[in-house]
Structure formats: structure tokens, C-alpha cells
Chain A
Amino acid sequence: MILAWMIIILLLGGVGAWAANRFGALWSRSLSLVALAIDLALALVVVASPNRESGTGRWLVQLNYNWIPQFGISFHLGLDGLSLLLVFLTLFLGLISVLCSWNEVREHVGFFHFNLLWILSGIIGVFLALDLFLFYFFWELMLVPMYFLIGIWGHENRIYAAIKFFLFTQASGLLMLIAIVGLYFVHGRATGIYTFDYLQLLGTSMSPAVAMWLMLGFFIAFAVKLPAIPFHSWLPDAHTEAPTAGSVILAGLLLKTGAYGLLRFVVPLFPDAARVFAPVAMVIAVIGILYGAMLAFAQTDLKRLVAYTSISHMGFVLLGVFALNGLAMQGAVIQILCHGISTGALFVLVGALDERIHTRNLDQMGGLWAVVPRMGGVTMLFALASLGLPGLGNFVGEFLVLFGSYRVNIPLTVLATVGIIFATVYSLWIIQRAFHGPMREYPKLRDLSPREVGITALLIAAIVWLGFAPQPVFNTARPSVESVIQNLSEQPQSNPAVVGTLGSSGQGGTP
């Protein structure tokens, strides 16, 4: 029941925050923080005492109720290591986004927090759902409030960006719905059991052609969210126009639902089709890495620049997932977490800068370090994280992904590594253009306020921790990754050479 409560509390918190606005904006903000804090406490309770309910195997907790029995749809939630990590990321970035919009959002504060909390509950629902219908339900549920968040509180071109975002994700989501229903009928006709339950649908046998089509339905929906080339064009607009909290959630969490979908659904449900498709996906991933990095370098809008870096970094996730071995998948998982934190941090900083100098244009910046040194230092750290400096989390993720994909495809790995060089260029470019160089005339600027120092300190702590001691993350994610790999290797034509997971002794975790 605890899992359902995590979702319900955020939904109720959203309604409460909206209603509380009549007593003052501070009430909405505090209520949102309280709701997120309660959720965080619940998540910790699950970690402290797993298997309290019907949790078995790799599932720490499960919850299963009949919902629409006529279709074999149940309200089935489950939490395993992978979900747990992503739920923590969601709540963490949720807290950050409430805090970072403390001063930025001044209009319709109640409705803003309503949307924020409803997006978060939708995302948590996506990470917990073990019924495909329920999964789709949450998948679509988070779109509407996100659409409002961009469309109401965004920047100049917000309505265009919001509609584009909504159309891309909705249309691709419907393709996934067709694939889900298709899988439902394939499984039902083969076994006589018509169900949307994920655990029962695992291992459905079908002809390769059917499997490929169904897998593509899922893959396109997730590739749009990820985003992978050529489905990425909504992302720069949405990220650029969204308010800071919106950008943090988009980059930090929404993109991760795509990655999660690949790991949780595409590979386990269609292992053979995934194996056949893997080379294509890896090529798409490498193109994304290079293309995103090159376009990032060409931007003058700082927010847009960071948005393009997301495409590049998420390419590593795609590469890691479709390398189809344990190392790369572990790398993908940690890359998901680190990218959420580092890009979230960059968006927070860009938002803070925009609040002060009212522009995001790099051409109008320069020499900021002298005026706002604390901000400069923090930006420097996250720019370094983004370029993959050892000691910060992103390095671990990218390294493991490349390590894993090297075993599968050397040329592509080499090309992907070139992407890291590009990342160095654009990351240093940000620092160079905004913080160094000739100083411009600025009105009196405030450096980071105590609230902002608090936010960035949390983010720095997280990224450094992931950089130096990622082993707890590996341990948490291992059962999930292992089961995916095992599912792959059970198939007859599998190649044992590419099967390998990180040992429990922890070797290979921190290279």
C-alpha cells in the first residue's frame, strides 16, 4: 500500500497546494515541500524494511489490485532496485525544482505547484507500474500538467513549445498503446490468458516479425522521450521555453522515463527483436551523441545549449542499453542518475543567471566570474561533470557504457568517445564565454543567495558522491540489470560472450 500512498500523497499535495494559495504563496510552496518530504520518508521506509508486503525476488514491495478485470487490467505496482533509484531521483529533483522556483514563479503560484506535483506523481507512477495499461496511464498523465507548466510559466515562445512537446509525446505514446494492445492479444491468443500484467507478459513467444513491429511501437515512444535522433526536435524548444523547474524536470526526469522504458520494457519483453535491432539503436545513439554535442556548440542561447547537451548525454544511455551487457547497462543506469543531477544543476544555474541579467544570450555575457564568483565556481564544477571529469558521477556512467559497448562494437565506441571530446569543447565554451573574457557592464548583481547555495550544495554533494562511491547504486540496480541480462541469455541464439554483470564483490564498479 505504501507505493500507492507515494502517488496519492503527491496528488493530494498538488490539490492542497492549489487550494492553499488563497492563504498566500508561501503556503503552496511549503505544502509542496512537505508532500515531497513525506514521500521521501516513505521511500526510505521501503528501503529500511523491504519485503513487508508481497515483495518477492528482486521486488522490494509489490501491490496488486484488480482494476478493470474484464480486460485483465490490474493496479499493479512494484519497486525494485532500478525503480527505487529513479524514485529517489524524482523526489530529489522534485525538491530542487520547488526550491528553485521559489522566487522565479510569482504568478498563479498555487496552480504551478499543482502541476509540478502532478507531474512528479505521474513520473513515480511510470517508474512503479507493473501493468502495461497502468504504465500507459501514468505515461500520458504526466503530459498534461507538463504542458501547462511550459505553456503558462514559460518564456517568450512557450505556447509553440508546449504544443510541440505535447504532440510529439502524445502521438508516439499512442503508437505504444497500439503495441501494448497488440502484445496483449498476442499473449492472450497464445496462452488464453488475456492480461496486461508485465510479469505475465514477460517471455511471451511470438514470431520475429510480430516481435519486431511491437518492439518498434515501444521503441519509438521511448526514443521520442529520450530523445533519440530523429525524434529529438521537440526537446530544444521545450527545454528552452520551460521555466527553470520545468527544464529541471524535463531534463532530469521526463527523459529518464524513456530510458527506463527501454530497460524495463523493450529489452525484457522483446529480447530477440532487441538483439536484432541493437546495431541500429547503437548507430542512432552514436549519431545522437555527436549531433547533440555539435549543435550544442553552435548555440548562443545558454539554455538551448544545455538542452542539446542532453541529447548527446542521453545518447550514451541508449548506447548502454543496447550494448545488451551488464556493464553497459549499469553504466546507463548511473548515467541516467548523473545526467539528471548535472543537467538539472546547469538549468538551475542558467535560471538563476537569467533572473539576474535577464538574458540567456551568451553574446551578452562575459566576465561574470569577477561579479558572481560563487556562481562561477559551481557552474565550472557542473560543466566539468558534464564533460566527464573523473571523480564526478558522469565519468563513471560514460566510462562503463563505453567499456561495455567496446565488447560489442569497437568502431561505434570509438566514435562515441569522440563525443566526449566535443563535450569538453562545449563545456569549457560555456565557462569561457559567460564567466571569463572581457567584463560587460552589469547592474549590481547578487551572488548566489543562501537558498541557492543550499540547492547547489545538495546537487554537488550528490554528483560527487556518485563519482567517488557509486557502488551502492550498482548494488541496488544489480538485481534488475541481472534479470534483464538473464532474460536475454535464456533465448537460444544468445552469445554468452556479451553476457556479464558486475560482480557482487564490487570490482569494476569504480575503475
Chain B
Amino acid sequence: MTAADLIALSPLAALGVSTVLIMLIVAWKRNHTLTVAMTLFANVAASALLFMILRQAPRQVTTLLIMDGYSLFYMGLIFAASLVVTLLSYSYLERHSEQREEFYIVLLLATLGATVLVASTHFVSFFLGLEILSVSLYALIAYQRTSERSMEAGVKYLILAAASSAFLLFGMALTYAELGTMEIARMSLRIGGEAPSILLLTGLAMIVVGVGFKLAVVPFHMWTPDVYEGAPAPVTAFIATVSKGGMFALLLRYSYQAGLSNYGSLFLLFAIIAVASMFAGNLLALLQTNVKRILAYSSIAHLGYLLVAFLAGGSTGAAAVTYYLVAYFVTMLCAFGVVTLLSGEAREAEAMSDYDGLFWRRPGVALVFAAALLSLAGIPLTAGFVGKFYIIAAGVGSALWWLVVILVVNSAIGLFYYLRIIVAMYKGASSEGHYVVPSFSVTGTIALAVLMVLLFWLGLYPAPLIRTIQSSVASLIS
């Protein structure tokens, strides 16, 4: 490993070092604001370092990690999301918890795990990144020790994540036994054209189990609603965005660079998963009355949409996935940001009735929420619209007619429950008897305002981002 390699790894190193620093400072003196400031700084510094090493990209650092345009783009996305989650957590923890500072240490570690995932080119870094992410998430989900639901969600996630990791490891072992390598670059040479052996297919299917669990696609989605509901709202935002986004980026890289698209059976498997996720997510969301659970099922459906673009393949497919993920990040952070901001000391604003008449009581935040929901539904002016358009374009371009039609049908189903929340927000007068909305914190409001601008910016003028994405995913294809 040379000095240049170390420089290339500097964003990851910056995160690691900050984690240790914050830990030391917390041991010396507890101060919530200081800790948050340091966490924010760590994210900003890591993002700044990305620009510095952009010039030497692509650079393979050992066999484990690669710093190319693709991984740098996703790292930037993850850092930005982590920054927003930090801002939201600040306003959330001010109200809720006594032990606040450790939260940020774990949050930074989880971010580090996701960053390793997007740069991974080897099974070892894959597993390491995944475990750093998962273990941090156990702690984050169950962070409110006094809350029974939070503990329950944490334990549930722990058991299922551990089980899925076991599947993943076994799958990796089988794949290694068959291919004799754990590097994806070499796998592509061995996979070649001939039909895969049963052993290899079993191994790949078991890896899909591990990946599918993190992505929360059907049939590995069972944990999602409970964990979304039980976890603190900012953590839910983190799971919905960084955790899933990091894993999807890895899935995309592995499938492109190992040439998995040659296997018809894998295509079929993912197509079934995509269709099942879209239908299950949207139909089950219809039955919910808890906003966090609705968003949980909606995110299952959205991962199904993403898989359609993933299956479309080619550079358009990769770009569509990436654009949709960016839009999805912005939108989901916006939605959970609203939930965070509205949550009071006693409980979170998660019942549908908490939102009754919000339009007339707090028009600003209601408007942000409505915009986020419309973006999830893919209505013009919002980022979600361009994202959905991109996916449909990718699907039609690859002639995946059935998947595209199913996606369209599901978009219509999805509208039902997004509209239900919007209806709740404007029906009912501004009288008493409603959920009392707490006063908003400054950091949360800033975060939401920025997200709101981004939401409309990406919906109205997506050309610059599309250009960036196209050049980023180019390193994936070649």
C-alpha cells in the first residue's frame, strides 16, 4: 500500500478518525451541540476530500476497495444524507434522550459501513462493510432504551440481520468454492458464457438473500414495518436511505462488473422480486394507519421500482437507478424530517390522526410533507417525477414492457395512500383536540428547507445532475 493509496482512502479515514475523536471528547466532556458540530464537520470534511481525490480516480486500493467515479458519487450522496440525519437527530435527541452523544459515534460508524459497501470490489470488504453497518444499526434502532417498541425493533433487526448475514456468508463460500476467487473483477472472467453450475446458482441465490434483506424487498421485507415504526424517526430515515442506497449501489456494481446479467435465471429471480415488492408494498400500505408504517411499505414498493431500472441494465439502467436513488434519498429524508420535526417529547407524530388539519395549523411543514408525498407518487415539479420518468425510459428502452406496465399500475395504487395522508392534512378545521405540534428546532427547519429546495430543483432542472451521474456510472460500465 502506497502513500497514494492512503490518500485515496482519506474520506474513509477521516470518518474513522472523527469517530475516535468524538469518542474521546465524549469521555472527557459531554456536550450535545459540540458533538453534533464535530459530526457535521466530519461529514463535510469527508465530502471535501472526495473532490480532492476525484482527480486520481479511478484508483484500485488493494483488492478490496476501488475509488472510481461511481463510488465517489455514492459516497458523496451517503455523506450528504448522513449530514441531514445528523441535523434531524439533533432536534430529535434534544427532546428525547438523556444520553445523546454516543448516538453520533454510532451514526458515523454506520455511515462508514455504507461507504465501504459502495466502494467494495471484493467479498471481504462487502462483508466488512455490511457488518459495520448492521452492528451500528442494532444500536441505533434500539437507542431509546426506555421505549419498549424501540427495543423490540432492535432485537428483531438483530436476529434477522444476523440470520441473513449467515446466508450471505454461506453464499459467498459456495461462490468462492465454485469460482475460486472473491474479487468481482476476476469473477467476470470465470462466469463467462456457459450455463452456471447448481452450486454457483445456489451460492448466488444465498447472496441475494443477504442483499435482499438489507434492501427490504419481498420476501425479505418482514422486518421493515416494525423496525421503521419502532426506531427513532431520524434512524428510520437513515435505514430508508443510506442503508438501502449503499446496498443497492453494491448490487449494481457486482451485477455489472461480474457480468451476472448473462444469467437468465438471476434475471427471472430479480424480476419476480421486483414485481412482488411493488405489489406487496403498495397493497399492504393501503391497510396501514400509521404514517411510519405507510412509509415503510412505500419504501418496499420503491425498491421494486428501482429493481425495474436495475433489470433494464446498460448505462441507462445504471443512470436511472442512481438518479432515482438520489430523488428517493431527498424525498424520504424530507418525509422523515417532517415526522421528526412534528414528534413531541411524549411520542412521535405517527398516527394518521396526528396530521389532521395540519395544512391550516402549520402550513409550511404541511406543504413540505405534501411535496414529499407527491414526489414519492411521482408527480411533476418534484424529483420523484424525473426519477420515475428515468426508470420508465430505461424500462421501455430495454423493452421490459410487462415490468413497466406493472410499475405504472403500482404507481396508481400508491397514489391512494399518499393521497390519504394529504387528505388528512387538509380535512378537519384548525380547531382544538388535535395533536399538539411542538415548536420546531432551527437545525431541523434548515435541513427541511434545503431538502425542499433540492426536491423542486431536481424536478425542474435535472440536467446537471444527470450529466454528473452519466459520467459517474461510466466507470461502472467500462
Contacts and interface: CB of A to CB of B under 8 A. Distances in A.
* Real binding pair: yes
Interface of A: 66-71, 108, 133, 136-138, 140-141, 143-144, 147-148, 151-152, 159, 162-163, 166-167, 170-171, 174-175, 177-178, 181-182, 184-185
Contact-residue bracket for chain B:
20 to 34
Given A140-B385, A177-B392, A181-B396, A166 B380 contact: no
Contact of A170 (B381, B392, B415, B470): B415
17 contacts: A66-B463, A67-B463, A68-B466, A70-B463, A70-B470, A141-B380, A141-B381, A144-B379, A159-B423, A167-B412, A170-B415, A171-B408, A171-B412, A178-B396, A178-B404, A181-B389, A181-B397
Residue among B393, B405, B467 facing the most chain A CB atoms (10 A cut-off): B393
A379 B426 CA distance: 35
Contacts of B379: 140-141, 143-144, 170
Contact of B380 (A140, A147, A171): A140
A108 B426 CA distance: 11
Nearest to B319: A70
Contacts of A181: 389, 392-393, 396-397
Contact of B405 (A67, A133, A178): A178
Contacts of A174: 408, 411-412
Given A144-B379, A171-B408, A177 B416 contact: no
A148 B462 contact: no
Contacts of A166: 415, 419
Contact of B360 (A68, A108, A182): A108
B427 interface: yes
B423 A151 contact: yes
Nearest to A147: B419
A71 B408 contact: no
B455 to A, nearest CB: 14
B453 to A, nearest CB: 15
Contacts of A185: 396-397
B374 interface: yes
B380 A137 contact: yes
Contact of A178 (B392, B466, B467): B392
Nearest to B381: A141
Interface in B13-53: none
Contacts of A147: 419
Given A70-B470, A151-B423, A167-B412, 7 more contacts: A108-B360, A133-B389, A140-B385, A141-B380, A170-B411, A181-B396, A185-B396
B9 to A, nearest CB: 32
Contacts of A137: 380, 385
Contact of A151 (B397, B426, B461): B426
A399 B80 CA distance: 64
A167 B397 CA distance: 26
A177 B389 contact: yes
Interface in B371-424: 374, 379-381, 385, 389, 392-393, 396-397, 404-405, 408-409, 411-412, 415-416, 419, 423
Contacts of A71: 393, 466
Nearest to A139: B380
Contact of A159 (B385, B396, B427): B427
A167 B416 contact: yes
A70 B466 contact: yes
Contact of A167 (B360, B404, B408, B415): B415
Interface of B: 360, 374, 379-381, 385, 389, 392-393, 396-397, 404-405, 408-409, 411-412, 415-416, 419, 423, 426-427, 461-463, 466-467, 470
A177 B409 CA distance: 13
| Nearest 8 CB-CB pairings of A with B | A171-B412, A174-B408, A181-B396, A140-B380, A137-B380, A68-B463, A141-B380, A70-B466
Contacts of A182: 396
Nearest to B469: A70
A144 B384 CA distance: 15
B8 to A, nearest CB: 29
B392 A152 contact: no
A137 B411 CA distance: 16
Given A140-B385, A166-B419, A178 B463 contact: no
Contacts of A148: 426
B379 to A, nearest CB: 6
A20 B61 CA distance: 59
Nearest to B429: A107
A108 B461 CA distance: 31
A162 B467 CA distance: 38
A71 B389 CA distance: 11
A234 to B, nearest CB: 13
B375 to A, nearest CB: 11
A205 B423 CA distance: 45
Contacts of B467: 70
A143 B426 CA distance: 17
Contacts of B411: 170-171, 174
A166 to B, nearest CB: 6
A160 to B, nearest CB: 10
A166 B412 CA distance: 9
A503 to B, nearest CB: 42
A69 B423 contact: no
A152 B396 CA distance: 37
Contacts of B470: 70
A70 B393 CA distance: 12
Contacts of B392: 177-178, 181
Contact of B419 (A69, A140, A163): A163
Contacts of B415: 166-167, 170
A78 B360 CA distance: 39
A334 B187 CA distance: 67
Contacts of A167: 412, 415-416
A316 B139 CA distance: 67
A163 B392 CA distance: 24
A68 B387 CA distance: 13
A67 B463 CA distance: 7
Contacts of A69: 463
Contacts of A175: 408
A151 B427 CA distance: 9
A12 B319 CA distance: 34
B441 to A, nearest CB: 25
A238 B411 CA distance: 21
Contacts of A141: 379-381
Contacts of B393: 71, 181, 184
A141 B404 CA distance: 22
A294 B380 CA distance: 38
Contacts of A178: 392, 396, 404-405, 408
B408 A68 contact: no
Nearest to A158: B427
A159 B416 CA distance: 12
Nearest to A66: B463
Nearest to A68: B463
Contacts of B412: 167, 170-171, 174
Nearest to A189: B397
A22 to B, nearest CB: 11
A133 B385 CA distance: 11
B262 to A, nearest CB: 24
B374 A144 contact: yes
A68 B393 CA distance: 14
A140 B385 CA distance: 10
Contacts of B404: 178
A170 B378 CA distance: 10
B359 to A, nearest CB: 8
A428 to B, nearest CB: 40
